[in-house]
Amino acid sequence: MNNKLNTMNNKLINKDGFEVVRGQRVTTFRGEEVEVIDWRAPHKPSSSGRVVVKNANGYFREYFPSVIGCEIHEYQYGGEEPMCENCGSYAHHTSDCIYSFGANPQ
């Protein structure tokens, strides 16, 4: 199992399709405001990965991305590619965006 955090080939995407970056403040489904510290990509197709956040008290927590309304998208870099039909991102990623909300990969 790969326990490396935030590899270059993964991005954290919120439910509106926008990228979430380190240091960004987001709200959990419980209404708690937290700061995104990093994330770990899914290690298998049935996994959602994990996000590391810091709460208002300065404590670090590890959650499923869905706790902060996000998913981890797998990307490949190295060439011009069109916008993704599933998530609307212009980033270079796999031809089938397997982690997007409501996507039906072909």
Cβ-in-10-Å burial (0-12, 13-18, 19+) of 103 comes to: middle
How many distinct structural domains can be found in the chain?
1
Residues 75 and 35 sit within 8 Å (Cβ to Cβ): no
| 95 has pLDDT over 70 | no
Average pLDDT of the chain is: 74
Q: What are the structure tokens assigned to 58, written together?
A: 């300065």
Q: Report which DSSP code applies to 66.
A: G
Q: Which residue has the tokens 């994990």?
A: 50
Q: What are the structure tokens assigned to 27, written together?
A: 């709200």
Which residue range forms the structural domain that includes residue 103?
Answer: 1-106
CA dist 30 and 11 (Å) reads 23
pTM of the model: 0.64
The percent of residues above 90 in pLDDT, for the chain, comes to 42
In this structure, what is the dihedral angle of CA atoms 29, 66, 53, 4, given to the nearest 10 degrees? 170
pLDDT tens figures, 26-65: 999 999 999 999 998 887 778 888 999 999 999 999 999 9
